[in-house]
Amino acid sequence: MTQEDLIKKCCKGNRTAQEELYRRYSPVLYGLCLKYSRNKNEAEDNLHDSFVTIFQKMHQYGFKGSFEGWIKRITINTVLQKYRKEEPLALMTELPDPVEEVYSEEETEVSLSTLLKYIQELPTKYRITFNLYVLDGYSHKEISEALGTSQGTSKSNLARARMILQEKILKKKQIA
């Protein structure tokens, strides 16, 4: 079944088509949810909520542009809405002092799973800003609009997230 046929059947509420769409895209969207979540259980909840929203809005997809990009955007927005309700995202207003980089790239290599763990441990406002900017390529303007904060707060939250991650990576290297 082509992607277009699958989408059209999903719009008509066809459960088999919805199951197939879930099977095709859940691995990619789960990975995206993992980036924004504190743990696997939260990522699974976010994935479920995202698919509910995707199926509700499926009729709005106009077959223009990438379908995968469209559902990724819905997933990110669904997760952001959840976190906006949970806690204020604009707590930090000043940029922290930059961390002086006195180490080489080789000295700070960590596994992808360790880095994901460190990202998941970041406070929500920092984790979301870091993921949007570094991993998903959003600008500070787009982040500030999505989160209802200023661009300065976005920059500050990104700087603080990077500093926390640097500290965790350096601490891991000192222990090793």
CATH number assigned to the domain comprising residue 76: 1.10.1740.10
48 SS3 class: helix
Q: Is residue 91 assigned to a domain? A: no
Q: Are 35 and 75 in contact (CB under 8 A)?
A: no
Same domain, 14 and 66: yes
Residue matched to tokens 């806690």: 87
- Name the domain count of the chain: 2
128 SS3 class: helix
117: left (phi over 0), alpha (psi -120 to 50) or beta: alpha
Q: Is residue 97 assigned to a domain? A: no
Q: Write out pLDDT tens, residues 102-145.
A: 334 444 577 888 888 999 999 999 999 999 999 889 999 999 98
Same domain, 78 and 129: no
3: left (phi over 0), alpha (psi -120 to 50) or beta: alpha
Amino acid residing at 78: T
pTM summary value: 0.73
Q: Domain limits at 132?
A: 106-175
How many angstroms separate the CA atoms of 159 and 167, rounded? 12
What value does the mean pLDDT take over residues 40-57? 95
Same domain, 26 and 71: yes
Same domain, 61 and 112: no
